[in-house]
Amino acid sequence: MRSLISAEQEQAYHAALHSALVAGQGVLARGGASLEAVCVAVQAMEDCPLFNAGHGAVFTAEDTHELDAAVMEGTHLAAGAVAGITRIRNPVLAARAVLQHGQHVLMAGEGAEQLARDAGLPVVEPEYFSTEARRAQLRDAQARASGAVLDHDGAAALAARPPGGPLHEGSKMGTVGAVALDAHGHLAAATSTGGMTNKRPGRVGDSPLIGAGTYADDRTAAVSCTGHGESFIRVAAAHDVCARMAYGGFSLQQACDAVVHQALPAIHGTGGLVAVDARGNVCLSFNTEGMYRGLARVGQAPETFIYR
């Protein structure tokens, strides 16, 4: 897979990750809250067509887009999430609006969109989320009757497909996320996704489910996951990391590795996560060939990575 991604594609991803990291880093450098930092970083990736979130989201089996997102802050365990968004430009901001509204945690469909409109968030036509690379990815999946596929970049996936073979489902994951620790010692996590190419309409993955794809607790860690959503739901992956730290005395690295390299593979789950703990330790763990990821600390140059 690595040899099939061009140097230009790699450079584009590194640049996009760098921009998102700089945006979040800037918030923290000004003394801003971790929740604001993760939202700004994820918003930058939602606006970039390279990622399967916001503009550049994958298509469902009915040629539509359904976007999910969640945010959580670790101080009061406050959280907000949306599922099945079709017209709000930045789903992560819709999730934050749910959190700030305070009455509910997870909202779906038209109700979620109305709350976002009431909060003054930008509304777009569904076509805004579409790209030709994603449409080609859908057509290929449908033509091959390959079912719903996980993929981070439609064009790269098509190029990487062996002649006559299906898309490599385990090679690229389609969720973006960010975690942060601010100067006040508070943690936050945010996650956003377009879901799975050719998925059945109405399917909801782990991203908007608090405890599965997103979790933050100032006592332990902030976690954002990416991968085969059904598996992350079944093991409550994000919360499991925090629980292992709280109840088992695990370090962040030990907890993340236990979830990513033991709990998930036990049910054939593929993917990874980004996490930061209350002491500022960072873990970027995955059980696939690579994961688009990066790290930025205030006062230091951001670092970005793709492969191991």
Into how many domains does the chain fold? 1
Structural domain includes residue 291: no
**Residue 192 falls inside a structural domain:** yes
The answer to the question of residue 102 being in a domain is yes
> Is 106 among the domain residues?
yes
Cα torsion 14, 38, 191, 139: sign: negative
b/e for 72-87, b at 16 or more Cβ within 10 A? bbbbeebbbbbbbbbb
Q: Is 288 a catalytic residue?
A: no
Strand partners, 275: 223, 283
Q: Which domain holds residue 44?
A: 2-130+167-219
From the candidates 60, 86, 175, 220, give the one annotated as an active-site residue: 175
Query: Is the residue at 281 inside a domain?
Result: no
Q: Indicate whether 66 belongs to any domain.
A: yes
| H-helix segments, the chain | 7-29, 34-46, 91-101, 109-118, 132-143, 154-160, 229-234, 237-248, 252-258
146 part of a folded domain: no
The neighbour count for residue 125, using CB atoms within 10 Å, is 9
The answer to whether 214 touches 70, Cβ cutoff 8 Å, is yes
pLDDT tens string, the chain, 308 residues long: the values are 565 678 999 999 999 999 999 999 999 999 999 999 999 999 999 999 999 999 999 999 999 999 999 999 999 999 999 999 999 999 999 999 999 999 999 999 999 999 999 999 999 999 999 999 999 999 999 998 766 666 443 444 444 443 333 333 334 457 999 999 999 999 999 999 999 999 999 999 999 999 999 999 999 999 999 999 999 999 999 999 999 999 999 999 999 999 999 999 999 999 999 999 999 999 999 999 999 999 999 999 999 999 98
Annotated binding site for substrate: 203-206, 226-229
